[in-house]
Amino acid sequence: MGRTVHFTVQCYGGTDIHDAAAELIRLAKFLGVSVHCDFNGVLLMARPGDDAGALAAAYHDELLRGGVHPIAVGEVARG
């Protein structure tokens, strides 16, 4: 059965993207559902097991792409 809920949280202004990504993923793992956050206009979507570096890289990619509704999703860490 798929997940039907997610949590939306806010990051403090001035938070580094790498720190935010790691904390969002930690929270997603703890809660067992995805955690979303608007980070400087980019929607970060962290899932349990995602890789923080990949989520931060996806954030930077979305900034460069300049889309109307930028969404950054990490990759599930392998290992």
Q: Which pLDDT tens digit goes with each residue over 6-28?
A: 999 999 989 999 999 999 999 99
pLDDT at 2 over 80: no
* Chain mean pLDDT for the chain: 88
Residue 34 contacts residue 49 (beta carbons within 8 Å): no
Largest pairwise CA distance in the chain: 38
Q: Taken in order 71, 25, 47, 61, is the CA torsion positive or negative?
A: positive
Which residues are CB-neighbours of 12 under 8 A, at least 6 positions away?
Answer: none
